[in-house]
Amino acid sequence: MKLVKLQDTSTDAGCGFRVTGFISQLETRNKKHFQTIKNRTMKNSKYDGSFYLNPYLGGVILGTVLLLSFYISGRGLGASGAVKNTVAATVNAVAPQHVQNSAYYCQFAGGDKTPMNNWLIYEVLGVLAGAFISGIIFNRLKLKVEHSPKITSRRRLIFALAGGLVFGFGAQLARGCTSGAALSGMAVLSLGGYITMVAIFGTAFVVAWILRKNWI
Amino acid sequence: MKEELFVSGRNIPNIDPYLNIWHWQIPGYLFLGGLAAGILFFASFFTIMGKENKMEATVKKAPMIVPFVLMLGLFFLFLDLKHKLYFWQLYTTIRLESPMGWGSWVLMIITPISILWSASYMKEVFPKWDWKFKILNTIEAWLIKNRKIIAWPMAIYAVILGIYTGILLSAFNARPLWNTSILGPLFLVSGMSTAAAVIMLMSKDHKERKIMGRIDILLIIVELFFIIHLFMGFLAGSEAQINAANLFLGGKFTTPFFAFVVILGLIFPLIIEIFELKGFKVPIIVPAVLILLGGLIFRFLMVEAGQITRYLY
């Protein structure tokens, strides 16, 4: 898709934003409509050109989603469980013998178990779809690596992978991640949920300070 | 383990109680046939309307893939035959009551038309193309002159082919899930929607994509309505048909059907396309691929589930 970069001359000249060639065509044909799109994107624009929802509003919406999830499906939210089941299903497809011998894998896969027919798998598909729509609305659908200007994309990706590995390992030890153990756990006043939350954010606080040069 | 006791005078392996004769080849063909029918219909429609130069991907580029799509579909059908070497007998045995006979003849007519249509645009799509023989150039000149005349039978046969992909199932009244005349229009609309998705993927013109996007939105809404109507009909039908519908409304096909066909294959692309129409920036590949996948999964589920349903108890 062709990208056109336009400069806003009327208000803040330094704050450029991207619109599609299609929108620029609209400009000539339908000025009023273009103006509304322009105003909307300008209002949410940040210095780096990315657009997000107000985090406090986002938090309230997330809480509502959690409540609705309990109400509609009778299950809390989760994320690492979907990855775990996908891994278990993959291992089962490649090496079923290993799954049978492993005390960990045989909880989720092998035999009559259907790890991919699981509520979390569908929930994560829904999360992807919802995130995609959010990306469309806030005009940030673009393949990019977000990182501090002081580090390279490669460094950011390596740290993201390393962090993800550690987190995935930890989530399995704790039997849940931020969504499954902390968020959903705290929502039902589970002590484990609170401990998980304190541990995740407490550790993050310390590690973030140690690795702060990657961001600031 | 689920067990079912059943007393019947009929126990024919692979036919009763469950049909077990149609495998991946049939839904694969139904998908390809619907896709080809949709592309050919749009190509002839916009030609008849005189818009061939405004809708280049629809009229010129997309039909280029149709002969290959149809041939692949025919190959799938060939693989499905038990006695493969006798396939030609479908053309020597004329039986009006045979759905396969009808399908064979429709394909026999529309495949050459699609090849001729693609041939007439070869030089426009591939400027370096050379037919080498004088006779081929003469034929091409004749085809180019008579495109509008060819477009009419192509449109009509495209609709017949699209409906036929559904009729192949619904002519099989012995299975409750297929015993509904709505399958014809439903498969036609679904095929046209997948065709619109392919055209949007192939088109580089914003105006054309917008027109196809609008058509696709309409088709998806109609398809959703047909799906609702399909189940309304079943639920108001006999006990066997209620059981058939329950496979999708709480039974074993519920999750794949609603997650992959209705939500990810229809509603989600519909929302994205509406956003695109409103002027938001959207990578068109996402809704297009989801529509194609949804259409494919839908046919697999309908063929699979239909074979399980039965009147005999």
Tell whether B285 lies on the interface with A, counting CB pairs under 8 A. no
B280 and chain A in contact, CB less than 8 A? yes
Contact: A23, B282; criterion CB under 8 Å? no
Render B251-288 in DSSP notation, one character per residue: STTHHIIIIIIIIIIIIHHHHHHHHHHTT----THHHH
pLDDT digits (tens, 9 = 90+) for A112-141: 888 888 888 999 999 999 999 988 888 888
**Backbone torsions φ then ψ of B138, nearest 5 degrees:** -65, -45
Cβ-proximal residues to A127 (8 Å cutoff; 6+ apart), any chain: A79
B1 touches A: beta carbon within 8 Å: no
CA distance B200 to B276: 12
Residue B84 DSSP one-character state: G
pLDDT number for residue B17: 75
CB contact under 8 A, B272 and A22: no
- Residues in contact with B37: Cβ distance below 8 Å, sequence separation at least 6, in sequence order: B110, B158, B159, B161, B162, B165, B188, B191, B192, B195
**Measured between CB atoms, which of B210, B268, B281 is closest to A141?**
B281
Q: According to the model, what pLDDT value does residue A6 have?
A: 42
Listed range (A4-8, A76-80, B238-242) with the worst mean pLDDT: A4-8
Chain B nearest CA to A20, separation (Å): 6
Cβ neighbours of B277 in A, within 8 Å: none
Q: Which residue in this structure is represented by tokens 């991640």?
A: A177
Q: What is the DSSP letter of A151?
A: S
pLDDT digits (tens, 9 = 90+) for B42-97: 999 999 999 988 998 999 999 999 999 999 999 999 999 888 898 888 888 888 88
Structure tokens at A201: 């954010």
Helix (H) / strand (E) containing A80: helix A80-94
Rounded to whole angstroms, the Cα distance separating B6 from B11 reads 10
pLDDT computed for residue A46 by the predictor: 46
Q: What is the percent of chain A where pLDDT is above 90?
A: 43
pLDDT value of position A62: 92
Task: Dump pLDDT digits (tens) for B290-300.
Answer: 999 999 999 99
Measured between beta carbons, the chain B residues lying within 8 angstroms of A122 are 255, 259
pLDDT tens digits for range A82-97: 989 999 999 999 998 9
Cis peptide before B17 (omega within 30 of 0): yes
User: pLDDT per residue over B243-282, tens digit each?
Assistant: 999 999 998 899 899 999 999 999 999 999 999 988 888 8
pLDDT band at A27 (very low <50, low <70, confident <90, very high): very low
Tokens 């291992």 correspond to: A91
Measured between CA atoms, how close is A144 to chain B, in angstroms? Answer: 14
How many Cβ contacts (< 8 angstroms) between chains A and B?
A: 45
Query: What SS3 string covers B187-211?
Result: HHHHHHHHHHHHHHHHCCCHHHHHH
Structure confidence by residue, pLDDT tens digits, B154-194: 999 999 999 999 988 988 888 899 999 999 999 999 999 99
- The phi, psi pair for A6, rounded to 5°, reads -115, 145
This prediction has a pTM of 0.82
Give A-chain residues touching B282 at CB under 8 angstroms.
136, 141
Rounded Cα–Cα distance for residues B290 and B293 (Å): 5
Q: Which of B 193-212 lie inside 8 A of A, CB atoms?
A: 206, 210
Task: Closest CB to A23: pick one of B263, B279, B286.
Answer: B279
* Contact present, B99 and B171 (Cβ < 8 Å): yes
* Alpha carbon B286 to chain centroid, angstroms: 20
B279 vs A contacts (CB less than 8 Å): 22-23, 26, 33-34, 37
H/E stretch holding A4 reads strand A3-6
Is the minimum CB–CB distance between B293 and chain A shorter than 8 Å?
Answer: no
Asked if residue B188 lies in contact with residue B223, where contact means CB atoms within 8 angstroms, the answer is no
Distance from C-alpha of B253 to C-alpha of B2, rounded to nearest angstrom: 16
Place of tokens 């045995």: B93
- Is-contact A21 A4, C-beta < 8 A? yes
- Dihedral sign of CA atoms B124, B126, B129, B134 in order: negative
| Smallest Cα distance from A211 to chain B, Å | 35
- The one-letter code for the residue type at A44 is N
- Dihedral pair phi/psi, residue A4, rounded to 5°: -120, 130
B6, B282 contact by CB (below 8 A): no
Per-residue pLDDT at A32 exceeds 60: no
Q: Using 50, 70 and 90 to split pLDDT, how confident is the model at B6?
A: low
**Does A117 sit within 8 Å of B206, measured CB to CB?**
no
- The stretch A31-58 carries a mean pLDDT of 58
Distance CA A187, CA B33 (A): 51
Residue B206 with chain A: CB contacts under 8 Å = 21-22, 25
Which of B173, B253, B252, B174 lies closest to B12, judged by CA?
B174
Q: What's the CA gap between B277 and B209, in Å, rounded?
A: 10
B286 closest CB neighbour out of A21, A132, A137: A132
What is the nearest CA distance from A183 to chain B, expressed in angstroms?
A: 25
Which H/E stretch holds residue A5?
strand A3-6
